[in-house]
Chain A
Amino acid sequence: MEAAPILQVRDLSVTLDSEAGPVLAVRSVSYSVRPGEVFGIVGESGSGKSVSSLAVMSLLPSHARIRGSVLFRGQELLGQSDRALSRIRGRRIAMVFQDPLSALTPVYSVGDQIAEAILVHESMSREAATERAVELLALVGIPSPRHRATAFPHEFSGGMRQRAMIAMAIANRPDLIIADEPTTALDVTIQAQILQVLRTAQEVTGAAIILITHDMGIIAGMADRVGVMYAGKLVETGSVDDVFYRARMPYTLGLLGSIPRLDRGTHQALTPIEGTPPSLVDLPPGCPFESRCPLRIPSCREVEPPLLEMAASGPGHLAACHRSAEVERRDLKSADVFPAPPPHASDRDGAPRAELDQVLEVQDLVKHFPLVKGAILRRRVGTVHAVDGISFDIRRGETLGLVGESGCGKTTAIMEILNLLAPTSGRIVVFGRDTANITHRERFETRRDLQVVFQDPMASLDPRLPVHDILAEPLEAHGVPAVEHSARVRELLRLVGLEPQHASRYPQALSGGQRQRVGIARALALEPRLLVLDEPVSSLDVSIRAGVINLLEQLKKELGLSYLFVAHDLSVVRHIADRVAVMYLGRFVEIGAVDDVFDRPAHPYTQALLSAIPLPDPVKERTRTRIVLEGDLPDPSDPPTGCRFRTRCQKFSGELADAARRRCIEEQPALAARTGGPDHLDACHYAVTASVL
């Protein structure tokens, strides 16, 4: 039973002007979307996935040159007048954009903006439209919608704004919704909520969805069919099962192999894709992936492979590779194509944890920020409990992952440690020295051993310094003789997998992955013993990310480093960390060995967090039961009494009797071993382990 496609894109090409010359952002892309299905488009930044969908809506800037054909229900959209298109936009085809803060007009109330979407297409009274808007807000799960409809976008949280965007998109019951990275700017538990809302929206309207994302996990969980884009081209397309389990284009294989898997742990070998995507300004002939592909043959350089039907898979599975038939015949997997470093289960020298030296000990660390009001007469009106009593230690050669959503206090915690000053209260002991009573000199010396790698490598490297000077700066500050600088810089570059000639380059001449390697080299310059890594890979594309993760693991082994690894991406943490601490609203809710915490999570928040992360595995995604938390993070200046998580806790609202709940409201649960090993601590009165992966 094959329904007629609702949208047919044929040979769509988009050229954008740039200072460097015309950019071939999209090259001859063809796909079709059938009624009611979810078609996923996946790709890294610059692959053309957003541009191609904006071209469908003719919403690109006027300098864009679009060629090809876009048929919506048989009607050609390209070349239509703005007036004709405006009758289709929002009514038949709706869009949900990535950043919900900038995508809503700041000066109109949310209700008015939704009502406007209805009023441009339907003649009804303003009151009726407003009433409709309130109904829609209720449908997408905004609490007290009548009241919230009068609020302005800046008064909404990120998740609520995205709900409002979806309400706007489904206001006129469109046939097709294009969702462009709808959850990228959101935290994972909020992402899970929004994906749920999208599913609801689809059920209510019966619309087809084009879901654009860089997250293979979201595709696996949401899409029926998927298209993989690389360098402006569709390089593989087919049903999710075909693409995930029988990928035939080496890029797809590499992409799938480079994702750390939440359900596989440290035993998984990550397959990084070497190099970077080509520039779309002067694209050489041949396959754009040729320079990074281990399977390349001479003809790849000359002829760009067309999309070929894969005979063994289901119909509609196409891959653009000269050797796809061979890949199919031999059924090659990621690890067969891409060389991966051998996995290492645990690097600890086998000694029990308690016998290893402590490199960092944190006891009851507290950091409060005063909330002040008034310009001349400042008065304290409240306190933000950013970090509210956390304790942990890191042993030699160990990696502690610190995970939590934005606003949970993880950045504040590491900044307190890096300050090397006495905290508001509690104790920080670095290499056996208590920061409360060390001299200025000792503090300076301690910094040699304690270094940091920041999230954004572009912002944390001085753009005016060449790489050599960036790496030599810490050496100079710590009095290493100038004659030794060059040799040390060369050694550092080699250590992080860069070439000696990179020393003379400036940061802007490097790719994102290379920049982060420079950031790591700088942190290693003084041979530290403990590295604090603040979201070191979250700004990198997936294929680049794997290389940096592997580098970090290799360096840890070679140099005997300890890591404090802060991340919101639990998959990366599972891959790299030995132990993990989960933070919520300034406190730890669970801490323990990674396998304990990920396989047998005890705290309801950990369970929800793990359950919210989409796995890049369609079968698992379909069969998983999902815990979707309600609401947003509470205001950290006014945390709930008792257990801080109880306002969103699925156990509190769903399982516990009233008498049991009282304990959650009144008594703050301490971090204790409740469910198993002595090293697996949780902060839930009623902790029960459960497997959610």
Chain B
Amino acid sequence: MISFLLRRLAYLALLVLVATSAAYFLAATQLNPRSRYEGRNPPPPAAVVDAALDALNLNDRTPVLERFARWSTGVFHGDLGRTVDNTSVNEEIDRRMWVSLRLMLLGAILGSALGVAGGAYAAVKQYQKFDHVLTVFSFVILSIPTVVLAVLYKNAGIGLNNLLGFTGETKLLYTTGEMTPGLDPWTGAGIMDRMAHLILPTLVLASISIAFYGRYQRNAMLDILGSDFLRTAQAKGLPRSRALIRHGLRTALIPMVTFFAYQFALLFVGATFTEKIFGWHGMGEYFVNSVTGQDVNSVAGVTLFVAILVLIAGFLADVAYAALDPRVRV
């Protein structure tokens, strides 16, 4: 088992290498940081632009392999390079990943717990009211693009605020940012303020997770419901509810493990649209901004970061799968 996991890790590390290199070459050849200087008035002298770009390792007149060599040397020493604004990519990621985590953690936990519970219950009550409600909910949520969903929730929040008379500075639900500037985050008022900012994006993220996990868990549970071992468990004398949870749900959770592992590892990566709509400065926003801002090093840095998280997720999924299912332990 250990050697299997080690082999798997080596394989995943190789994938990280390939993905990151590919991302660097793609970004370095397709993005054009020089354009940032071209629109200025008066136009800066070419030598000045070259010098600025050289300092950031972004000069498209330097052969791409040479730039890659410099960049990857830096990466091996733990330095992801500089952004186009001459800040450190490391610092940028280090700050933004926690923003993303704070945004998504609650939504992910709520979404997966409720999704699993709802899906399992819907399977037990197949073709009854709850099942129909969850099915309709899931299809509606999954067929609306995230960006539209986020805007809908945001508008609903604003509507609610207006309806309940929160039209001043203090609001029931905030629709922009992580917290009101100037508040001490560790006082009671600060925490309440954070929560008020968190509710709407959490609802968006949780809705999507519930819809997604609900569907999968329902199917996994339906497979188990007709199984002989569930009948054995009842024949032994377990009440149906206990047999369903101890033997049914426990077994039906196994195929879900892969989804959980990926979701929790990718919490740091952020939710691009939700961050954008609700004005959180997390990793998702960073990635979009770096593409539109011709920021080669940031694109490559974010890709490397995501690739490493995917590696961890894949590894986590393997370990968790083996922990849950004795049949795959070798």
Q: How far is the CA of A57 from the CA of B226 in the complex (A)?
A: 16
Interface centre among B227, B234, B250, B251 (most CB of A within 10 A): B234
* Closest-CB distance, B86 to chain A (whole angstroms): 45
Interface stretch, picked from A72-80, A104-112, A266-274, A605-613, is: A104-112
* Closest-CB distance, B160 to chain A (whole angstroms): 41
Pair A89/B325 contact, Cβ less than 8 Å? no
Contacts of B77 in A (CB 8 A): none
**Residue in contact with B229 in the complex, picked from A89, A90, A105, A117, CB distance below 8 Å:** A105
**What is the 8 Å Cβ interface bit string for chain A, positions 113-153, against chain B (1 contact, 0 not)?**
00011001100000000000000000000000000000010
Q: Is B238 an interface residue (CB 8 A)?
A: yes
Pair A104/B232 contact, Cβ less than 8 Å? yes
Pair B326/A152 contact, Cβ less than 8 Å? yes
Interface size class of chain A, counting residues whose CB lies under 8 Å from the partner chain = 20 to 34
Contacts of A440 in B (CB 8 A): none
Pair A59/B234 contact, Cβ less than 8 Å? yes
Contacts of B327 in A (CB 8 A): 106, 152, 154
Pair A102/B227 contact, Cβ less than 8 Å? yes
Q: How far is the CA of A416 from the CA of B232 in the complex (A)?
A: 41
Pair A87/B237 contact, Cβ less than 8 Å? yes
Q: How far is the CA of A94 from the CA of B239 in the complex (A)?
A: 14
Q: Which of B190-232 contact A (CB under 8 A)?
A: 226-229, 231-232
Q: Is B240 an interface residue (CB 8 A)?
A: yes
Nearest-neighbor residue (CB-CB) of A58 within chain B: B234
Pair A120/B238 contact, Cβ less than 8 Å? yes
**What is the 8 Å Cβ interface bit string for chain B, positions 235-257, against chain A (1 contact, 0 not)?**
11111100000010011001000
Pair A82/B251 contact, Cβ less than 8 Å? no
Pair A168/B239 contact, Cβ less than 8 Å? no
**Known contacts A86-B239, A87-B237, A89-B237; A106/B232 CB under 8 A:** no
Contacts of A54 in B (CB 8 A): 231
Pair A97/B239 contact, Cβ less than 8 Å? no
Interface size on B, residues (CB 8 A): 22
Contacts of A107 in B (CB 8 A): 250-251, 254, 324-326
Contacts of B325 in A (CB 8 A): 106-107
Pair A97/B228 contact, Cβ less than 8 Å? yes
Pair A89/B235 contact, Cβ less than 8 Å? yes
Q: How far is the CA of A168 from the CA of B226 in the complex (A)?
A: 21
Dominant SS among interface residues on chain B? helix
**Known contacts A82-B239, A87-B237, A90-B236; A103/B231 CB under 8 A:** yes
Q: How far is the CA of A54 from the CA of B247 in the complex (A)?
A: 19
Contacts of A102 in B (CB 8 A): 227-229
* Closest-CB distance, B18 to chain A (whole angstroms): 16
Pair B239/A83 contact, Cβ less than 8 Å? yes
Q: Which of A51-100 contact B (CB under 8 A)?
A: 54, 57, 59, 61, 82-83, 86-91, 94-95, 97, 99
* Closest-CB distance, B7 to chain A (whole angstroms): 8
Contacts of A99 in B (CB 8 A): 228
Nearest-neighbor residue (CB-CB) of B233 within chain A: A105
* Closest-CB distance, B83 to chain A (whole angstroms): 40
Contacts of A152 in B (CB 8 A): 326-327
* Closest-CB distance, B319 to chain A (whole angstroms): 16
**Residue in contact with B235 in the complex, picked from A83, A87, A95, A154, CB distance below 8 Å:** A95
Contacts of A121 in B (CB 8 A): 237
Nearest-neighbor residue (CB-CB) of A84 within chain B: B239
Contacts of A120 in B (CB 8 A): 236-238
**Residue in contact with A103 in the complex, picked from B232, B238, B239, CB distance below 8 Å:** B232
Q: How far is the CA of A631 from the CA of B270 in the complex (A)?
A: 57
Q: Which of B7-40 contact A (CB under 8 A)?
A: none
Chain B interface (Cβ within 8 Å of chain A)? 226-229, 231-240, 247, 250-251, 254, 324-327
Write 10 A-B pairs (CB below 8 A) sorted by A numbering.
A59-B234, A82-B240, A83-B239, A89-B235, A90-B237, A91-B237, A102-B228, A106-B326, A107-B324, A154-B327
**Given A83-B239, A102-B227, A154-B326: 5 more A-B contacts, CB < 8 Å:** A90-B235, A94-B235, A107-B325, A117-B236, A154-B327
Closest 6 CB pairs of A and B: A90-B237, A90-B236, A95-B235, A117-B236, A102-B228, A152-B326
